[in-house]
């Protein structure tokens, strides 16, 4: 998609998501419990997407490839090897922030 207000319905119906490695795209997909293949562009400078993709892959949450290896990745993938992404814990951040600003 070039632009869409929300991908929530598409993610709900998806059996597999193939995406760039933007933090929002990755986290939204993983929080929905959908298997994710991230396609990175390794030619970008200061590529935070590549860093995120590598870490999520190391942690076992996503499959990672680039444009030239996408087809082979799809042919050989084993989605059963992916680990569920742990749910967020915003209360921990709230407690940390309270401590930092002196509310505790």
**Domains identified in the chain and CATH numbers:** 7-101 (3.40.50.2000)
pLDDT in tens, 13-25: 999 999 999 999 9
Residue for token pair 């970008």? 44
Q: How far apart are alpha carbons 3 and 102 in whole angstroms?
A: 41
Beta-ladder partners of 36: 17
Cβ-based burial of 18 (10 A; exposed 0-12, middle 13-18, buried ≥19): middle
Query: pTM, whole model, 2 decimals?
Result: 0.81
Q: Is the dihedral of CA 34, 7, 50, 69 positive or negative?
A: positive
pLDDT tens by residue, 18-75:
999 999 999 999 999 999 999 998 777 667 888 999 999 999 999 999 999 999 999 9
Among 89, 99, 36, 92, which Cα is nearest to 64's?
A: 36
């Amino acid at each position: 998609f070039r632009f869409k207000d929300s991908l929530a319905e598409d993610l709900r119906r998806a059996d597999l998501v193939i995406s760039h490695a933007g933090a929002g795209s990755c986290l939204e997909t993983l929080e929905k419990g959908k298997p994710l293949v991230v396609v990175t562009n390794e030619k970008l400078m200061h590529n935070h997407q590549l860093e995120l993709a590598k870490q999520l892959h190391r942690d076992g949450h996503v499959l990672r490839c680039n444009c030239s290896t996408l087809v082979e990745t799809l042919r050989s993938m084993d989605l059963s090897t992916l680990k569920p992404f742990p749910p967020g814990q915003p209360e921990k951040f709230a407690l940390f922030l309270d401590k930092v600003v002196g509310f505790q």
